[in-house]
């Protein structure tokens, strides 16, 4: 299963974790990853299909898209953060 997570997807999960589990603007992920639009959209859609993140539009004016970790995504990300810490120690 771990082979289904690309480095790009892991980076997005960790960025979401570092932002408290969610971001309210797609541009935050775009600016922090510096991925192309297609690469970012592809990674987001794959993470959604794996049930690790969710994307919801708000009812505010103008509407924004919130991208957030799911409960499953939080558990996976906690493991990724621990692995990152072990490697850096």
Helix (H, G, I), strand (E, B) or coil at 84: helix
Cα 36 from Cα 58, distance rounded (Å):
24
The pLDDT assigned to 63 comes to: 85
pTM of the full structure: 0.90
* Higher pLDDT among residues 27 and 75, named by residue: 75
Per-residue pLDDT band at 52 (split at 50, 70, 90): very high
User: Domain containing 9: what range?
Assistant: 2-84
Tell me, yes or no, whether 89 lies in a domain.
Answer: no
Closest of 60, 74, 52 to residue 24, by C-alpha: 60
Tell me, yes or no, whether 36 lies in a domain.
Answer: yes
CATH number for the domain harbouring residue 66: 1.10.10.10
Tell me, yes or no, whether 16 lies in a domain.
Answer: yes
Tell me, yes or no, whether 43 lies in a domain.
Answer: yes
Q: What's the total number of domains in the chain?
A: 1
In sequence order, what are the residues at sequence separation of 6 or more whose Cβ sits closer than 8 angstroms to the Cβ of residue 68?
16, 21, 22, 23, 53, 54, 55, 56
The pLDDT assigned to 23 comes to: 95
Per-residue pLDDT band at 1 (split at 50, 70, 90): low
Tell me, yes or no, whether 72 lies in a domain.
Answer: yes
């Amino acid at each position: 299963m771990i082979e289904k997570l690309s480095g790009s997807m892991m980076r997005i999960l960790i960025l979401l974790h570092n932002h408290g589990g969610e971001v309210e603007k797609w541009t935050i992920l775009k600016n922090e990853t510096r991925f192309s639009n297609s690469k970012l959209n592809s990674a987001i859609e794959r993470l959604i299909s794996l049930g690790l993140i969710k994307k919801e539009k708000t009812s505010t004016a103008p509407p924004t898209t919130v991208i957030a970790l799911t409960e499953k995504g939080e558990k996976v990300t906690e493991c990724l953060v621990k692995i990152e810490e072990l490697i850096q120690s």
